[in-house]
Structure 1
Amino acid sequence: MSFPLALNQYLVRLDLTVPDSLSLDFVCELQRRHVAEFSFNNLAVVLGDDISLDLEDVSEKIVTRGLGAYCFEHNKLTFELLKALGYDVQLKLARVLNNNLERAVGRTHRVTLLTLNNEMYLIDTGFGGNGPLSPLSLSTQQEQQSGFEHYRMLPLEGGEWDVQIVKDGDYFTLYRFDFAHYSEADCSVGHFYSHRHPNAVFVNNLMVTNKELDKTRSLLNSTFNIKTESGEQNRKVGSPRVLQSILAEHFQIKLELVVAEHLFERFVQSELDDSQTRS
């Protein structure tokens, strides 16, 4: 089977062999390896880079250069591979709620719906620390385990669905999507807001995540967190060199010290100052 070079490189980087027939096991392994291998981060956003959604550019950034990315890039790469392999996939957009169910927000998250053997699944390789490591079935409202976390797909009136994660014994709604038709042009609108609007979350915070079956590492501004099934450990990022070291050691992102100093001043120092004031 012949693919664009960008998709061939994607398969090679994840050490995946394409099966002879369409397989849910392959999709599961693709999602797990993708999320573990490629960090979710908004470094390009906060550094003011131009972020292209062309497939070749996305592959160059994520696969070749290992820089990680955010949802519009991660899920585009996954979608295009599954589509090229012959899977029945649909592009969908979602509203990120983070449990504020009355929150008025635009559709700034991209996901993929897969239909296979008359079953439908949500595929998401680009939601960061709370995102699933495996496909989530829409055919059940029971909890579904993915890694050490549990999720629920909840249908709503009007054809919308909530994607929920179990937190502290209760359901926490991550985002809401519907079955409307969306195109790459719709993604461009959400992408433009997400990386250019002055009020966008990704413009105003430093966010980096890496997720494996038994461990999630995340950096949010001044706090570095490691989460496992047994609990969480937090530490404060005390200096630009510590920030530089965390990015290199835990996320395989190597930055010049001057860049780490810039990010520290913009996103870390103010939080540290605020926490010291409150204490």
Structure 2
Amino acid sequence: MDETPRTTEEPPRPAPALTGSRVDAYLERIGATRPTRADAPALRELQRRHLMTVPFENLSIHLGQDIVLEEEKLVDKIVTYRRGGFCYELNGAFAALLRGLGFRVTLLQARVFGDGGRLGIPYDHVALRVETDEGTGPWLADVGFGDHALQPLALDSRVEQEDPSGRFRFREAPRGDLDLLRDGSRQFRLDPRPRALPEFRAGSWYHRTSPESHFTRSLVCSRLTEEGRVTLRGRTLIRTVRGERRKEELATDADVLRAYLVEFGLALDQMPEVRAALIGPRG
């Protein structure tokens, strides 16, 4: 394996910040107030609010809806249309909110560890490097990895970091990358070089079209709650309360649509179904 450090690249130009009214609308969407300064406590609160109100979901893939990696469209989906999304959408929009509040944000690409420790494709995941105005951090903020850290993680730390979701640690990896571990298990490999949102289009296309992507093979909608998590996988509603999981099978389409509305705030006008055209032979 080539472990030669990567060369420094010209950083991509940051996207323009959201305007004041758009920031206010986004804050209303996640039930947050405008912070007085762009500091670490504000970042922690914004990440927590986002995780509790905006669901991680892949429904657009199975509803035949386009996914456009442009910040204005991503913010519209979350704020105007009251939807969620997967990593490119959620962290892309969250980056726009943070910049609008005065945080300095850089997009980072990561490859997710799958079965047997196999790494996923390049641009498999997008995460955020965030700098605050009081000089703490830099922080890894992430509202798009499903069940993950509740709080931002200190990127420069190499010791275990306690979080309500577990113990997290960054470990040095080949070529200057970082592996993020949760309770000793590798989650993803982070490339610290700055990226721009358009660079993730190929990864987004792969995950919404390839039969090798788990996003094309199932329906998922999930969000954090005060006591744990609520998840809808197809017709199975799963509530995790203080570590205890309870499953409920929803019998009718009406029950499923009601669960999307009541549990996640998603007012859908059609029933999401796994699109058979997306699923082909694997091998």
TM-score normalised per structure 1? 0.81
> Contact 1:92 / 1:179 at 8 angstroms: preserved in 2?
yes
Greater percentage in helix: 1
- Is structure 2 residue 168 aligned with structure 1 residue 151? yes
Instruction: Assess if the C-alpha contact under 8 Å between 2:216 and 2:275 holds in 1.
Output: no
User: Partner amino acid for 1:127?
Assistant: F
Number of residue pairs matched? Answer: 258
* Distance 1:228-1:150 versus aligned 2 partners, 3 A rule: farther
| 1:120 equivalenced with 2:120 (yes/no) | no
How far apart are 1:219 and its partner, in Å? Answer: 2.2
2:40 maps to which of 24, 28, 43:
24
Aligned letter for 1:80?
A: A
Aligned residue among 87, 103, 112 for 2:119: 103
> What corresponds to 2:273 in structure 1?
263
- DSSP 3-state at the match of 1:57: helix
Superposed CA RMSD: 2.6
Question: Are the equivalent residues in 2 in contact too, given 1:91–1:110 (CA < 8 A)?
Answer: yes
Counting aligned pairs with the same residue, the percent is: 24
Structure 1 residues 21-100: aligned runs within 5 Å: 21-98=37-114, 100=116
Counterpart amino acid of 1:185?
P
Which residue identity does 1:161 align to in structure 2? L
Give distance in 2, aligned partners of 1:66 and 1:119. 31
Match of 2:263 among 250, 261, 269: 250
Name the residue aligned to 1:188: 201
Alignment-derived partner of residue 133 in structure 1: 150
Give, in whole Å, the separation in 2 of the partners of 1:216 and 1:89: 28
Q: Deviations over 1:246-276 (max 9, x none)?
A: 22222222334xx32x62796xxxxxxxxxx
Which residue of the partner structure matches residue 237 of structure 2? 224
Unaligned ranges ≥5, structure 1: 267-279
SS of the counterpart of 1:7?
A: helix
> Displacement, 1:176?
1.5
User: Cα distance, 1:40 vs. partner?
Assistant: 0.9
- TM-score normalized by structure 2? 0.80
Q: Is the 8 A contact 1:163 1:176 kept in 2?
A: yes
2:24 maps to which residue?
A: 8
Q: Which amino acid aligns with 2:150?
A: L
The answer to whether the 8 Å contact 2:92/2:197 transfers is no
Superposed CA deviations along residues 5-42 of structure 1, whole A, max 9, x for unmatched, are 43331123334344443311111111000111111101
C-alpha separation between the residues in 1 aligned to 2:235 and 2:205? Answer: 26
Question: In structure 2, what residue type is equivalent to 1:74?
Answer: L
Residue 176 of structure 1 aligns with which residue?
189
Which residue identity is paired with 2:217?
N
Pair 57,265 (structure 1): closer, same or farther in 2 beyond 3 Å: closer
Alignment CA distance shift 1:226-1:144 (3 Å): farther
Distance in 2 (alpha carbons) for counterparts of 1:191 and 1:264: 18
Q: Which has the higher contact order (CA 8 A, sep 6+)?
A: 2
Moved more, 215-224 or 233-242: 233-242
Say which is worse superposed, 42-51 or 232-241, in terms of deviation.
232-241
Runs of 4+ in 1 over 4 A off after TM superposition: none
